[in-house]
Chains A and B, each alone.
Chain A
């Protein structure tokens, strides 16, 4: 990473960390983990299942909310507040700014996820009293959640490069919801014929296939995660994010600042 991208990324990270909303969300996520413990205590023999289902889903949802909440303002807020004027008049290319912003936000989410993951593992330790080999699937589930964040951040940034924060939030959230149902959409497209089928297939492959990243149930049951899936999801998330970021750069390069 070149140093200018790193400086923008660090400033983005610092801004997010100093944002009180982010602190509130972390606190809320921790509260949810505490709730998981409570539910785990009143459940019989399914403590692990309940704690991991609730904990990992909370990690995913709160991370996605943070990704959308901050991601939609990454570019548009800087344009509206005109903070970009004194940044882009320096030897910083527009693409470096966009990429720096992306890394800053994903960095924030990784740190955030690490803290939430610690909460999940502490909750797991609390109900099971020990860790075992099956818990590696929880690490894989958390890794997939981070990959999911990469895609959501990239999409939020893409929409933020040309749309208002509210519209960006709507578009990103819509794609997130459709993306979690991508498997069903592909199945539906497979069973549809004619032009409708072609269009539906195109749409099904255009939206991010986030359902492939959801292995919360598998992790909760302690099932092993195939190495091939890890590789496939990693490549897919990186490629999808790269395409969305490239789109954001292409649009942002042509924009006139107000």
Chain B
């Protein structure tokens, strides 16, 4: 089943004193995300990620286009009970304690009164802030606020969760916990749509990713597909104190690290290198094809269109 369907969603803001000057924030965007998938929305700052999320959450009005979530219009209040949202750098009512805030959100989300208390307690424990449950949010650190943000996003057991830069402001342990949380959500069958510019997170977590830049969708695909692309090169690692002369004579550059030597060669040269190693009785450690990384794909998609086309040609 399709969880999120974005149909030519477009946004142009009017700026300037008289609100006359148009500023394009999002070109017509068309995306489909299946239920149960973790989808990464990648792009640099100002690319249009937050604008897209605002349009999906009904916080901004689209200039054109529409979106459907779980088969319903994204502005339908019924669908709002099924979605969770963590904004970028979330702000909360800092006069409330974490427990009061989550209780308030549970009320607004329609969590039955009989379940509210237990649900809030469980959620505070899940994100690791149970010991600060009765502390006012104005005394919370940025990392703790991010945890509150995650708790409020999944408090009402939504089927689709939107996270805008969820790792922002977190220390390495916090980032790891968020990654685990997203993996848990996936194992529970939730759909997760998260925007980030931290590519290692996207590579580790996402089934599919899209790259957006300057308000325009530049590419989309499954992480497996994008990172399986081979460059026609192999990386060979073997045990030695220095590269054999026969290798350097071929013009192959070697990187030496302790008693290990690492060379990257064309696939056609692979047998030649292996023959040299056999002849010199050097122990082979590994031989692996060089794959594209998500970073390479991302960087390629961020290139200006002309140079990108030129490179392809």
State whether the Cβ of B297 lies closer than 8 Å to any Cβ in chain A: no
> A15, B107: Cβ atoms under 8 Å?
no
> A86, B92: Cβ atoms under 8 Å?
yes
Within 8 A of B (CB), among A2-42: 3-4, 7-8, 11, 14-15, 18-19
State whether the Cβ of B27 lies closer than 8 Å to any Cβ in chain A: no
Within 8 A of B (CB), among A70-101: 81-93
> A14, B95: Cβ atoms under 8 Å?
yes
* Interface size class of chain A, counting residues whose CB lies under 8 Å from the partner chain: 20 to 34
Bound together, the chains give a CA A82 to CA B95 distance in angstroms of: 15
A8, A15, A81, A92: the one contacting B91 at CB < 8 Å is A81
Minimum CB–CB distance from A194 to chain B (whole Å) comes to 33
Minimum CB–CB distance from B144 to chain A (whole Å) comes to 16
State whether the Cβ of A257 lies closer than 8 Å to any Cβ in chain B: yes
Question: Which A residues touch B105, using CB under 8 A?
Answer: 86-87, 90
State whether the Cβ of B87 lies closer than 8 Å to any Cβ in chain A: yes
> B13, A256: Cβ atoms under 8 Å?
yes
> B104, A256: Cβ atoms under 8 Å?
no
State whether the Cβ of A254 lies closer than 8 Å to any Cβ in chain B: yes
Question: Which B residues touch A3, using CB under 8 A?
Answer: 107
Chain A's closest residue to B113 (CB) is A3
Bound together, the chains give a CA A88 to CA B81 distance in angstroms of: 11
B54, B81, B96, B109: the one contacting A257 at CB < 8 Å is B54
State whether the Cβ of B304 lies closer than 8 Å to any Cβ in chain A: no
B57, B80, B85: the one contacting A91 at CB < 8 Å is B80
> B95, A15: Cβ atoms under 8 Å?
yes
Bound together, the chains give a CA A28 to CA B108 distance in angstroms of: 36
> B108, A91: Cβ atoms under 8 Å?
yes
Bound together, the chains give a CA A92 to CA B104 distance in angstroms of: 12
Looking at A7, A90, A257, the one whose CB has the most chain B CB atoms below 10 A away is: A90
> B78, A86: Cβ atoms under 8 Å?
no
Question: Which A residues touch B58, using CB under 8 A?
Answer: 88-89
Residues 222-258 of chain A: 1 if any B CB is under 8 Å from the residue's CB, otherwise 0?
0000000000000000000000000000000010110
Question: Which B residues touch A19, using CB under 8 A?
Answer: 95
Instruction: Report if A83-B91 is in contact (Cβ < 8 Å); known contacts: A91-B108, A91-B109, A91-B110.
Output: yes
> B87, A82: Cβ atoms under 8 Å?
yes
Question: Which A residues touch B13, using CB under 8 A?
Answer: 256
Instruction: Report if A83-B77 is in contact (Cβ < 8 Å); known contacts: A88-B58, A256-B13, A256-B61.
Output: no
Minimum CB–CB distance from A5 to chain B (whole Å) comes to 11
Within 8 A of A (CB), among B33-63: 54, 57-61
Instruction: Report if A93-B77 is in contact (Cβ < 8 Å); known contacts: A83-B92, A83-B93.
Output: yes
Minimum CB–CB distance from A128 to chain B (whole Å) comes to 41
B57, B81, B109: the one contacting A85 at CB < 8 Å is B57
A81, A92, A257: the one contacting B108 at CB < 8 Å is A92
Question: Which A residues touch B109, using CB under 8 A?
Answer: 90-91
> B57, A88: Cβ atoms under 8 Å?
yes
> B57, A89: Cβ atoms under 8 Å?
yes
Minimum CB–CB distance from A80 to chain B (whole Å) comes to 9
Minimum CB–CB distance from B77 to chain A (whole Å) comes to 4
> B95, A18: Cβ atoms under 8 Å?
yes
> A87, B95: Cβ atoms under 8 Å?
no
Minimum CB–CB distance from A99 to chain B (whole Å) comes to 14
Bound together, the chains give a CA A19 to CA B95 distance in angstroms of: 8
Instruction: Report if A86-B60 is in contact (Cβ < 8 Å); known contacts: A11-B93, A92-B108.
Output: no
Residues 111-127 of chain A: 1 if any B CB is under 8 Å from the residue's CB, otherwise 0?
00000000000000000
Bound together, the chains give a CA A7 to CA B61 distance in angstroms of: 26
Instruction: Report if A90-B93 is in contact (Cβ < 8 Å); known contacts: A85-B85, A254-B61.
Output: no
Pairs across A and B, CB under 8 Å, 27 listed: A3-B107, A4-B107, A81-B91, A82-B87, A82-B90, A83-B91, A84-B59, A85-B87, A85-B90, A85-B91, A86-B90, A87-B105, A88-B58, A89-B85, A90-B80, A90-B81, A90-B108, A91-B78, A91-B80, A91-B81, A92-B77, A92-B80, A254-B61, A256-B59, A256-B60, A257-B54, A257-B60
- Closest 8 pairs between A and B when the two form their complex, measured CB to CB: A89-B85, A91-B80, A256-B60, A85-B87, A89-B57, A7-B107, A257-B59, A91-B77
Seen from chain A, the residues whose Cβ lies within 8 Å of a Cβ on chain B are 3-4, 7-8, 11, 14-15, 18-19, 81-93, 254, 256-257
Seen from chain B, the residues whose Cβ lies within 8 Å of a Cβ on chain A are 13, 54, 57-61, 77-78, 80-81, 83, 85-87, 89-93, 95-96, 104-105, 107-110, 149, 152-153
